[in-house]
Amino acid sequence: MAKSPEEEHPQKAFGWAARDSSGILSPFRFSRRCRENADDDVTIKVLFCGVCHSDLHSAKNEWGFTNFPVVPGHEIVGVVTHTGNNVEKFKVGDRVGVGVIVGSCMKCDTCQEDLENYCPQVIYTYNSHHHDHDRTKTYGGYSDMIVVHHRYVLRFPDNLPPDAGAPLLCAGITAYSPMKYYGMTEPGKHLGVAGLGGLGHITVKIGKAFGLKVTVISSSPAKEDEAIKTLGADSFLLLSDPAKLKEAMGSMDYIIDTVSAVHALAPLIGLLKLNGKLVTVGLPDKPLELPIFPLVLGRKLVGGSDIGGMKETQEMLDFCAKHNITSDIELIRMDYINTAMERLAKSDVSFLHVLLFQALVWGSHVPTQGFVSLPFNRSYYHIQKPYDVPENQRYSFINGVHKCWVYSTDKPHTTTSQTLPRTEIAIQGYGYSSGVWEFEADGYVPYGTSGVCIMQVFGATAPHATTLMLRVYNGSLTYYRETVLVPDIYDKWFKLNVIHDVDAAKVKVYIDGRLKLEADGRGGTSHAFKCGVYAQYNDSCYMESRWKHIKVLRKCGH
Ligand SMILES: [Zn+2]
Ligand SMILES: [Zn+2]
């Protein structure tokens, strides 16, 4: 009798799977194969995984070859937890990536030429099978771990963010490979990018990094701002504007067509110069009409391309790291995946309504995971404010928003204190001396507030008084006076998580879910969190910060 996916193999895994063409994902226990050639395998703990359009198509069986249950995900970034005996390239603790493929025959001419992606026996990261006797199914990155032959594992560069870098493993190589193969990288040449979806936006960034002049070709006037202001394209061509289109005819050296809906190729071919090249990377589900006359008369070329081989994918990651190319992402939690998929489906890229969808990435390690939120109300904090003014002249709490303000000419918070003025929410209900504690809140600092501490972890070994200070100087959020954590903090809400591991003497600061700082603790035996405004050097005459959703959390098991 066939074994269940959970019983099949010794390596247990947990992920989210679609069971039928509804495409709804739900928790799924399964097992990963430890292969016979496990000596060549790398075991990876998954940190982030991009959500790609292919995931959606597969989950809903829109291409007709999904073998349920399917665990999607082929933009995987993780950390190596185990390596087989033959693995020399990676060691435990290395940050690595896994893209669209996890295997190929390794013997054919195509594989010998490092074009594993075109091998007739290519094995995709999910919804595919290993070729040897047990034909184990492959499951993707919407899971806690994955085991992959080292040939298909990529070094993930240190300076590439593991979340915003993840979509490069699919979209990045899809754009990069044809530009290299078809010779579309000569600086100063003119590249058109048709379609401004997730793939289009990475193509624009890579084109700019090669030194090309980049024009976004779209049917939606609303995309112009995005293309030029956000992505840095040189120009924008609205296809539905006949005058502009006519003007642009014969002006482009290359075009990458990322549109996956059925659309006309004739206008794109017309935009090309003599010897121009048009490469399609979108996959419309019906054939497109190809006009031959303009190709012949202009010696133009139309080609296609599908992701890239492992060597080139590594080259692409290194290139993106060097040029700071990342994807614009929205970080989501795994349990939000079904809503995320729905949103992705609605913003489906079509030639008439080209939408920039943000690539979606889920993180298995959100800063509050493993912590419990403790009760929090007015009895857990008090307001420290200049001793000679009433509280309501320096602090308000309206519609859930705490507002703290202070003037540089104000008095300290006690008659005996020598410190500069402050208005701070001091959380005295949760003083601590051991364990792992976390402060979470949404913060806001209005324009002009400067030379001020807005959040602190009180307590340290003398001469220090604090374990952590987050300050604002001229619009930057900084760690004390040194490290800039966010260069432009004014006039926007940001989510702040501060984790203080007292026993390990470490603090971590997350802004909007991203780790921005890891610093040493500074000793001390009695700690508490505070937020507000506390004047430091070069303080502005008026200082203000606002806070909402303040939480104090404590790590379970402490
Ligand atoms: Zn993909
Ligand atoms: Zn092969």
CATH code of residue 227:
3.40.50.720
Cα-to-centroid distance, 370 and ligand 1 (Å): 31
CA distance 50 to 63: 20
Report residue 34's pLDDT band, with 50, 70 and 90 as the boundaries: low
Nearest CA-CA partner of 216 in 206, 207, 227: 227
Cα-to-centroid distance, 72 and ligand 1 (Å): 10
Cα-to-centroid distance, 19 and ligand 2 (Å): 31
Cα-to-centroid distance, 76 and ligand 2 (Å): 23
Contact criterion met (CB below 8 Å) for 530 and 426: yes
End-to-end CA distance of the chain: 46
Phi-psi region of 527 (alpha: psi -120 to 50; beta: other; left: phi over 0): beta
What value, to the nearest 5°, has the Cα angle with vertex 279 and ends 278 and 280?
120
Residue 222, SS3 per DSSP? coil
How many separate domains does the chain show?
Answer: 3
Final residue in a domain of this structure, among 275, 305, 335: 305
Please tell me the number of the ligand nearest to residue 171's CA. 1
Query: Beta strand 436-444 with 542-555: parallel, antiparallel or unpaired?
Result: antiparallel
Count of C-beta atoms within a 10 Å radius of residue 211: 11
Q: 400 and 547: one domain?
A: yes
Cα-to-centroid distance, 385 and ligand 1 (Å): 54
Q: Which pLDDT value is given to residue 35?
A: 57
Cα-to-centroid distance, 174 and ligand 1 (Å): 9
Q: 69 and 176: one domain?
A: no
Cα-to-centroid distance, 40 and ligand 2 (Å): 17
Cα-to-centroid distance, 10 and ligand 1 (Å): 29
Cβ neighbors of 235 (< 8 A, separation 6 or more) are 213, 214, 215, 216, 228
Give me the residues paired with residue 495 across strands: 442
Considering Cα of 415, then 416, then 422, then 426, what sign does the dihedral take?
A: negative
Q: 333 and 401: one domain?
A: no
CATH number of the domain enclosing 156:
3.90.180.10
Cα-to-centroid distance, 17 and ligand 1 (Å): 17
Q: 87 and 184: one domain?
A: no
Cα-to-centroid distance, 114 and ligand 2 (Å): 9
Contact criterion met (CB below 8 Å) for 305 and 184: no
ipTM of the complex: 0.97
Contact criterion met (CB below 8 Å) for 55 and 16: no
Nearest CA-CA partner of 84 in 73, 92, 76: 92
- Is 1 a member of any domain? no
CA distance 102 to 147: 9
Cα-to-centroid distance, 124 and ligand 2 (Å): 13
Please tell me the number of the ligand nearest to residue 173's CA. 1
Cα-to-centroid distance, 118 and ligand 2 (Å): 8
Cα-to-centroid distance, 260 and ligand 2 (Å): 28
What value, to the nearest 5°, has the Cα angle with vertex 397 and ends 446 and 457?
70
Which of 225-229, 248-252, 307-311 is the least confident region? 225-229
Nearest CA-CA partner of 334 in 12, 6, 15: 15
- Is 528 a member of any domain? yes
Q: 276 and 142: one domain?
A: no
Cα-to-centroid distance, 276 and ligand 2 (Å): 32
Contact criterion met (CB below 8 Å) for 531 and 466: no
Which of 218-232, 405-419, 531-545 is the least confident region? 218-232
- Which parts of 165-274 fold into alpha helices (H)? 171-181, 198-209, 223-225, 242-248, 266-271
Which DSSP symbol is given to 99? Answer: -
Residue 548, SS3 per DSSP? strand
Q: 160 and 102: one domain?
A: yes
Average pLDDT over residues 283-302: 93
- Is 41 a member of any domain? yes
Cα-to-centroid distance, 55 and ligand 1 (Å): 7
Please tell me the number of the ligand nearest to residue 202's CA. 1
Q: 352 and 276: one domain?
A: no
pLDDT digits (tens, 9 = 90+) for 71-109: 999 999 999 989 999 999 999 999 999 999 999 999 999
- Is 5 a member of any domain? no
- Is 6 a member of any domain? no
Please tell me the number of the ligand nearest to residue 72's CA. 1
Cα-to-centroid distance, 510 and ligand 1 (Å): 28
CA distance 157 to 164: 12
Cβ neighbors of 327 (< 8 A, separation 6 or more) are 50, 164, 165, 166, 167, 168, 171, 172, 198, 201, 202, 359
Residue 553, SS3 per DSSP? strand
Token pair belonging to 206: 């890579």
Please tell me the number of the ligand nearest to residue 117's CA. 2
Q: 193 and 146: one domain?
A: no
Contact criterion met (CB below 8 Å) for 192 and 237: yes
Give me the residues paired with residue 218 across strands: 238
Q: Report the percent of the chain where pLDDT is more than 90.
A: 67
Q: Which pLDDT value is given to residue 443?
A: 96
Please tell me the number of the ligand nearest to residue 105's CA. 2
Domain span holding position 253: 171-305
Cα-to-centroid distance, 357 and ligand 2 (Å): 34
Token pair belonging to 27: 């928790």
SS percent in the chain: helix, strand, coil, step 5? 20, 35, 45
Q: Which pLDDT value is given to residue 132?
A: 67
Q: 494 and 356: one domain?
A: no
Average pLDDT over residues 175-186: 98
Asked whether residue 541 carries a pLDDT value surpassing 90, the answer given is: yes
Q: Which pLDDT value is given to residue 136?
A: 83
- Is 550 a member of any domain? yes
